[in-house]
Chains A and B, each alone.
Chain A
Amino acid sequence: GAGVSQTPSNKVTEKGKYVELRCDPISGHTALYWYRQSLGQGPEFLIYFQGTGAADDSGLPNDRFFAVRPEGSVSTLKIQRTERGDSAVYLCASSLHNRDTDTQYFGPGTRLTVL
């Protein structure tokens, strides 16, 4: 079946602009995660959704970052007033539930470049 998809695959923007990154999880997966991966680093947790609600948003670096999942499926990560330091690959993952035994499945990521 279809895996996690993310759009766009690449996004180039200018400093100060607003961007939206989209994640389509595997159908039926109730848990959804966003991560940021900088060059040479492992994924860094940003936010976790269980259904429509953000169960843990403690990884969002500041109030320029916001994410929504209004219908419990597709999620959008929104970044306001982008800065060059926001340049990274943004990864989305989903899992069937939030049980301890569940496995996360990752999308291919969106590479964001802020000029």
Chain B
Amino acid sequence: AQSVAQPEDQVNVAEGNPLTVKCTYSVSGNPYLFWYVQYPNRGLQFLLKYITGDNLVKGSYGFEAEFNKSQTSFHLKKPSALVSDSALYFCAVRPPGTYKYIFGTGTRLKVLA
């Protein structure tokens, strides 16, 4: 079965430190990969996506993600975390040939001042 895994329910990081939110996937073929962020009482906001090309993708608010085909991973990263980055982050995958997006269960990021 095709799936997305976010192994950490919560990630805590000190402000100013680098952050990583992990995502792995199990999909046949070459999927399209996405990261979304959800703030309280607001809809999901698009951060970045990988379609093809350079494995390092840069997105909104200083976030980036690295596609690793051999490890089937698409971890979200930021060099220096801000308290305002605290939110719920979702990884999503779209298998090739379909528009049926599959989301992970989410990782709550808490940036401590």
Contacts and interface: CB of A to CB of B under 8 A. Distances in A.
A48 B90 CA distance: 20
Contact of B43 (A40, A91, A103): A91
B103 interface: yes
B49 interface: yes
B101 A104 contact: yes
Interface residues of A, number: 28
Interface string B56-99: 00000000000000000000000000000000001010000011
Given A91-B44, A106-B43, A42 B90 contact: yes
A100 B49 CA distance: 11
Nearest to A4: B43
22 contacts: A3-B43, A4-B43, A31-B99, A33-B101, A35-B101, A40-B106, A42-B103, A42-B106, A43-B92, A56-B99, A56-B100, A59-B100, A93-B44, A98-B99, A100-B32, A100-B51, A103-B49, A104-B46, A106-B43, A108-B41, A108-B42, A109-B43
Please provide the 5 A-B residue pairs with the shortest distance between their CB atoms, ordered closest to farther: A42-B103, A106-B43, A106-B44, A108-B43, A43-B103
Interface of B: 4, 32, 34, 36, 41-46, 49, 51, 90, 92, 98-106
